[in-house]
Each structure stands twice: as structure tokens, then as C-alpha cells.
Amino acid sequence: MIDRSLEGAGRTVLVTGAAGGLGRAFALGFAARGYRVAVADGDADGAAESAAKVRAEGAEAFSTHVDVTDPDSTAALAAAVAEFGGGRIDVVLNNAAIYAGITRSPLEDIDPDEWDRVMAVNLKGPWLVVRACSPHLPEGGRVINLSSATIYSGSENWLHYVASKGGVVSLTRVMAKELGRRGITANVIAPGFTLTEASHGLMDDAATYGVDRGALRRASQPEDVVGAALFLAGPDSGFVTGQTVVVDGGRQFI
């Protein structure tokens, strides 16, 4: 049995959108592997709470507010995380996204202002965060961007969300090419419908939604997605880049 508990010793991971849900699960998962964990979110109090939970697990943690749509805010974030990490950021995990607050409506009825807001957070955000962190990424560094499995099946009345998450895949492929010259990988995780606080807020039957369509007949929990991130950040994925890992319990095969 391989002991993975110190796999991240001496390494720093930045998780955006880490005030709760998947982001908090990522933070705790990396803490369990010995990483220093920097948590960032537009909700500063939520980020601080996540950092406290990481510290309770015995790992070093740093929390801060960030607006991922703002170049100055993301630049300040990168500088602060690099200082926390001793001059480097080993893993950037772009989880921040607008999800539950989106109005589901036909393409003809989408508010252009909401379209712009979704694209700013979900697509522009990962670019700005990686752009700011790039000078601090060492050889062997990792970029992990969150998309969604719905880009493969489509989701009616959610055009702007699906389009933004499809864009994340294309963005990451270009990052993989450019950052690869420096020995840095860039990959995507595309989770299926996962039971987070946000998902429960979307529908009354969240706990059973889509379960009958999966090869594994149960609902996805945030912890189910964490393993893919740990793999893409760890030593066993050093020759994996530009790829999309779907984590949906076999609801669709790509």
C-alpha cells in the first residue's frame, strides 16, 4: 500500500471558489496529502472558514478574498499565495464559477448582462488567475481547470453556463501547449451533477437527479471529484496534459 499522506509535502496549491462545496472538498483533500493550501473566494468569510477546517486537519492554510474577473485582484492573489508558498505556486486549481445563481431560460430570453457575468467568472476568471500565477509556477507545476460534464450532453435553458464551461476546455488546451514549454501541465476536470449546497438549491430532487442514468447508481458527492484533482496534481500524471477527465459515475462515455 502506497502512503500518499505526504505526497504534497513542500508544495502549495491554490484553490479558487473554496468557500464551500467542491472548492472546500478540494482544499481538504489536498490538505490530507500534505499540501500547503491557499483558499480564495469572493466570500472572504467562507474562505476563512475553509482555511480553518484545513488547519484543523493539521495542514498549513492561507485564505483571501479574490474577484477572479479583475486583473488587479488576481495579481494581488498570485503575489500573496506565492509569498505563502515560499516564492512558488505548485498547483493552481480553478474552481470558482457562477452556477446556482444562474437563471435558467431559453436562449432567446437570456439576459445579456447575465451572459457577460457568467462568461467573466467562468471563462475569463481561469485565464486571469493562471496569467497572474504563471510567473510563480515552477517546472513540474500543474494547472487544473473545472469544466462540467454537461458540455457533452447539453442542458436546455442553460446555454451561457454550458458555453462557458465548453470554453474552459478549449482554453486549457491552449494553456497546455504554451505552459508545456516550461514543463507545466494543464488539464480539465468535468464533474457531473454533484451534491453540493448549490446543487441542493437548484432542485428538490437533487439527491436522486440523474442517478438512473449512471453506470454507478448513486449520487456524486464532492469527495468523488477530489481524487481526479489529486491525480492531476501528483507525480503520476506528469505526462498527462491538455486532457479532460470526466467524473460523473458513468452517466456518459466520451
pLDDT one-digit tens code per residue, 129-153: 999 999 999 999 999 999 999 999 8
Helix (H, G, I), strand (E, B) or coil at 219: coil
Q: What is the pLDDT of residue 197?
A: 60
Q: What is the DSSP string of 58-89?
A: T--EEEEE--TT-HHHHHHHHHHHHHHTTS--
Q: Which residue type occupies 14?
A: L
Instruction: Name the strand (E) or helix (H) holding 195.
Output: none
Inter-CA distances, 68 with 40, 76, 114, 154, Å: 9, 11, 16, 26
Helices H / strands E in the chain, number of each: 9, 7
pLDDT at 248: 87
Instruction: Judge whether 152 counts as a catalytic residue.
Output: no
Distance CA 163, CA 170 (A): 11
Contact 62, 51 (CB under 8 A): yes
Q: Which domains occur in the chain, in start order?
A: 12-193+221-247 (3.40.50.720)
How confident is the model at residue 213, as a pLDDT? 73
pLDDT tens profile 83-129:
999 999 999 999 999 987 888 899 999 999 999 999 999 999 999 99
Q: Is the dihedral of CA 49, 54, 59, 62 positive or negative?
A: negative
pTM score, whole prediction: 0.92
Low-confidence ranges of the chain (pLDDT < 50): 1, 200-201
CA distances (Å), 115 to each of 66, 79, 141, 157, in order? 21, 30, 32, 12
Strand ranges for the chain from DSSP E: 12-16, 36-41, 61-65, 91-94, 142-146, 185-191, 244-247
d(CA 50, CA 91): 18
Instruction: Answer whether 221's CB lies under 8 Å from 178's CB.
Output: no
Instruction: Given the residues 35, 152, 161, 209, select the one marked as catalytic.
Output: 161
